[in-house]
């Protein structure tokens, strides 16, 4: 099976995702990478990546382009990965949003705290073991830039994948460390920016998840 991968190329770091996916074309059955800005383009694809950027802006632009409701329908049935701002958009609930709130795709049953780790100057990287990438996999270098975090899992089907050690963006509700990656049915939600590293293992994980082999 070949899968075209989608990017909502409205705002955010979609070019970086494309560069990483290009490294997987020959080994992971990626037939085409499509930048999507219209419903016609959305109808062509089998899997979606919503990139990091500014979640409120992405939602507003998607609405103005007339594809917000189409995105809501897509993510309910087809493999979708939201990274950073994309995680916020995928979520059913978000806190610490801008005044007036923001539109969500209402799909991933978690509560996400926007900018949980502070401002741009509070960005950080951390190497963590990630069993979901392989039992004997080397640690992954996680990049957090004005990142959200998952502060509540609201459905028992949500599978935690990566949790930070205590002390990073700590809250009373997360004494054991904040969740920064989860899987739910055909959805993957991550707080970090894997596209800003030279390591393609998270992209490989999503492609294999989309194919049903992860």
| Residue keyed to tokens 């830039």 | 145
Angle at which helices 14-22 and 201-211 cross, to 10°: 80
| Residue keyed to tokens 């219209």 | 38
Number of residues that make up the chain: 214
Give, in order, the Cα–Cα distances in Å from 108 to each of 32, 114, 126, 127. 26, 15, 25, 26
Q: Out of 17, 28, 84, 203, pick the active-site residue.
A: 84
Q: Out of 17, 28, 132, 193, pick the active-site residue.
A: 193
- Phi, psi angles (nearest 5°) of residue 162: -140, 135
The whole-angstrom distance between residue 111's C-alpha and the CA centroid of its chain comes to: 14
- Strands 187-190 and 80-83, bridge-based pairing: parallel
Class of residue 96 by CB neighbours under 10 A (exposed 0-12, middle 13-18, buried 19+): exposed
Is residue 195 part of the annotated active site? The answer reads yes
Is residue 19 part of the annotated active site? The answer reads no
Is residue 17 part of the annotated active site? The answer reads no
| Residue keyed to tokens 């205590």 | 166
CA distance 2 to 25: 10
Catalytic residue numbers?
84, 193, 195
């Amino acid at each position: 099976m070949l899968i075209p991968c989608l990017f909502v190329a409205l705002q955010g770091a979609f070019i970086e995702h494309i560069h990483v996916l290009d490294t997987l074309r020959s080994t992971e059955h990626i037939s085409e990478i499509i930048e999507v800005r219209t419903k016609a383009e959305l109808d062509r694809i089998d899997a979606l990546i919503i990139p990091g950027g500014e979640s409120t802006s992405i939602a507003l632009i998607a609405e103005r382009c007339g594809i917000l409701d189409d995105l809501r329908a897509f993510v309910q049935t087809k493999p979708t990965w939201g990274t950073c701002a994309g995680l916020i958009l995928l979520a059913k609930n978000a806190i610490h949003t801008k005044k007036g709130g923001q539109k969500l795709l209402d799909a991933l049953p978690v509560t996400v705290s926007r900018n949980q780790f502070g401002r741009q100057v509070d960005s950080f990287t951390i190497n963590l073991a990630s069993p979901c990438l392989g039992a004997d996999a080397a640690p992954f270098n996680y990049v957090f830039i004005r990142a959200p975090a998952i502060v509540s899992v609201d459905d028992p089907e949500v599978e935690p994948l990566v949790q930070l050690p205590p002390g990073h963006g700590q809250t009373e509700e997360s004494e054991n460390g904040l969740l920064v990656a989860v899987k739910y049915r055909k959805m993957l939600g991550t707080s970090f920016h894997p596209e800003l590293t030279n390591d393609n293992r998270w992209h490989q994980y999503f492609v294999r998840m989309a194919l049903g082999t992860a």
